[in-house]
Amino acid sequence: MCDITGLEQKPIAVLISALGKGDGEGVNNLRELSEGCPVCMLAAIRQSILQYYHCDEDGDSGYRVKFEFKDEKNMF
């Protein structure tokens, strides 16, 4: 999708790093770094461990990144 829109695709490791803990701030960071490209955002989320399982220091588990591909695509 980046090729079609003329955007520069960022390395996946950089995108995953921008996601941070996968919270709202991390998703916003990812959106900014990927220039809103929903395909890049989805790729980073899918390849991060956050999609599957997260356990923080307090023992809370089952965290999932809140991301709606259709909404992101429509905003793009």
The residue segments making up the domain with residue 48 are 2-63
Instruction: From first to last of the 76 residues of the chain, give the pLDDT tens digit.
Output: 666 778 888 999 999 999 998 888 999 999 999 999 999 999 999 898 776 555 555 555 454 788 888 888 998 8
**Phi and psi (nearest 5°) for 49?**
-75, -15
Q: For residue 70, tell me if it sits in a domain.
A: no
What total of structural domains would you count in the chain? 1
Q: For residue 73, tell me if it sits in a domain.
A: no
Q: For residue 69, tell me if it sits in a domain.
A: no
CA end-to-end span of the chain: 11
| Residue among 2, 27, 33 nearest 15 (CA) | 33
